[in-house]
Amino acid sequence: MTRAPRRPARRTLALVAGVTALGLPLVAVPAEAHGGAAPPAPPRTGFETSNGARWTTEAEEGSFLAAVDRASDRVGVRTVGTTKQGRPIRLATIGRDASGRGTASQGASGPGSAAPGSAGPASAATTVLLVCTQHGDEPSGREACLTTVRDLAYARDKETLRFLARTTVLVVPTANPDGREADTRGNADGIDVNRDHLALRTAEGRALAALIRDRRAELVYDLHEYDGTSPYYDKDLLALWPRNLNTDAHVHDEARTLSESYVRRAAGISGFSSGIYGIWTDPHTGQPLKQVAGDGQERILRNTAGVKHSVGLLVETRIEALTQAEADDDARNRRRRVTTQLVALKGAFAYVDERRGLLGAATAAARHTGFADRGPVLIGGADNDPAEPAETLQDPPCGYRLDAAQYAEFGDELALHGVTVRRDGDGVFVPLRQSRRALVPLLLDGRAEYRLTSGRPVEAC
């Protein structure tokens, strides 16, 4: 564990309470840096000021992030989308690229060119994207994300500054603002945003797709909560990597390492129980009994991230009271849920710091394999459920042709996914030989369950 900064001799200090998201004490700030006066106190969320008695409101989120943005030159806050009900989808950028250059745009690429962000030199910094509260009735991740933005902005300890010098942290504190306001799982149209990362029917899904396309995060970390079933499915924290079989093997292995060796390990060190999302276990032996969730659907963010060559991870904290004390005190229950999320985030940041070379190598190599245009594409199955022959495109076509009407309807979605197309008569040709090779059949093959449309396979290029 890192030691707290030592108090300098003969110097008056104004201390900032709290810890950074890396688990390090927030810095002691010299009072003379503020003309001898105590520095302004860091802003606090509604959750913090109420000690967990209530969740932070949307208005409080806006004020909080604006205050952090004003106070720190290492933070930039902007709006990357607007919901059906007119609420902003905010992005906070911390670290190497606080200006947020290249963040989401919801326009389409024209035919004949690569989509924005699909090529160009990679940044020397590792980019981490935190997606918080896709489900509006799962708010603990949002609170953890908000305070993480603040704590990284105000940190002065050497370890955190070194981390931020090599890392860009992107945070979407509320990925489903309308759902959070209504305390519903879905958005204003009742759509589950975490089932919309292929079709992109929602403003929320489109904003996240553009972020993933333009910022090419090496790690996409998705914060959720779950309802448990005692005694088979009742851990403080559950986590799961991309199970989709089109995830590059090295990316898959890094995601599993993140889950099992860092996030769950951090939970255990802090006294929280953990498990694999979707798996019921025997309470006596710990052996798996059955799978109730957590498949390889490509439309779910952790899987979409894997198919798009990012290390994706789903994390879930348990909503129900775990003790009588929590049952008697909702604030105690909320504080435990948020604390568990923060502990898991500490593990994720430790992973980035310790394995950034391996993480960067895995994701960079995966982004280039599609240009070789080799190997099957799987339209079903998972890493624990082998694809059936009917779910295996053993010899995929060299691409798919969309007619003018199909491209008019789905061109924007292809662009948001970062898929390259070429003009072909009155329509377009979508080649498999590109970075998003495995994604193309999932979007356009008539056999894919969650396809956008059925393109015409082109067997010879």
Q: From first to last of its 461 residues, what are the pLDDT tens digits of the chain?
A: 333 333 333 222 222 334 454 554 343 333 444 455 556 789 999 999 999 999 999 999 999 999 999 999 999 999 999 999 999 999 999 997 776 544 333 333 333 333 333 333 444 799 999 999 999 999 999 999 999 999 999 999 999 999 999 999 999 999 999 999 999 999 999 999 999 999 999 999 999 999 999 999 999 999 999 999 999 999 999 999 999 999 999 999 999 999 999 999 999 999 999 999 999 999 999 999 999 999 999 999 999 999 999 999 999 999 999 999 999 999 999 999 999 999 999 999 999 999 999 999 999 999 999 999 999 999 999 999 999 999 999 999 999 999 999 999 999 999 999 999 999 999 999 999 999 999 999 999 999 999 999 999 999 88
Q: What is the rounded distance in angstroms from the CA atom of residue 161 to the CA atom of residue 183?
A: 36
| CATH class, 46-369 region | alpha beta
- pLDDT score, position 99: 61
pTM above 0.85, yes or no: yes
Q: What is the pLDDT of residue 13?
A: 24
Question: What DSSP state is assigned to residue 130?
Answer: E
Question: Domain extents for the chain?
Answer: 46-369, 377-458
Distances (CA, A) of 120 to 112, 115, 207, 425: 17, 11, 21, 28
How high is the pLDDT of residue 137?
Answer: 98
Q: Rounded to 5 degrees, what angle do the CA atoms 200, 338, 215 make?
A: 35
Give the model's pLDDT for residue 1: 38
- Are the C-beta atoms of residues 260 and 160 closer than 8 Å to each other? no
pLDDT at 23: 52
> 350, 266 in Cβ contact below 8 A?
yes
The helix/strand/coil state of 449 is coil
Are 142 and 180 spatial neighbours (Cβ–Cβ below 8 Å)?
yes
d(CA 39, CA 17): 12
Instruction: Note the pLDDT of residue 461.
Output: 83
Q: So what's the pLDDT on residue 352?
A: 98
**Is the backbone of residue 35 left (phi > 0), alpha (psi -120 to 50) or beta?**
left
Going across the sheet that includes 456-458, the strands are: 422-424, 427-431, 399-402, 456-458
